[in-house]
Amino acid sequence: MSPAPTLVVLNGPNLNLLGEREPDVYGHETLADVEALCRTRTDELGWRLDFRQTNHEGVMIDAIHEVRASAVGLVVNAGGWTHTSVAIRDALAAVRAPVIEVHISDVHAREAFRHFSYITDVSDEVIVGRGVRGYAEAIDAVGERVREG
């Protein structure tokens, strides 16, 4: 029997502070709450969950490289790197599985510098402003793409 497919969720800088940092923007849920939500959804799909957070850009790039050919899908909240990192964009371009970009807040309703994303053009879908439930929606989006083949 083959191992269960693995969905990877990668979280970028400052997301370890969810629930503490700007709760009026990001809500009161913690990163542990987000992981629990993702685990519930992946369990329902019969998938394993690989859930990570880093404040170091090179670690994020290495993680993308590590899973680029093995993950059933990749959900990425690159945080501030969304608006600054060509290197993360280029790493995501090498991912074979569906890539879903997710943002807890509505980045388009915030500061002008948050309106541009380097990773949107290498993502299969973008989910913004749905709070932490956007992660569950992103996992569902991967599931739909996997079912469609």
Catalytic (active site) residue 26? yes
Q: How many CA atoms lie within 13 A of 126 on its CB side?
A: 18
Sequence ranges of the binding site: 77, 83, 90, 104-105, 114
Catalytic residue among 26, 28, 118, 135: 26
Distances (CA, A) of 21 to 26, 99, 124, 128, 134: 8, 26, 29, 18, 18
Catalytic residue among 65, 103, 118, 135: 103
Sequence ranges of the binding site for substrate: 77, 83, 90, 104-105, 114
Q: Which amino acid is at 119?
A: I
Can you tell me the distance from the alpha carbon of 63 to that of 50, in angstroms, rounded to the nearest whole number?
10
- Residues marked active site are found at 26, 103
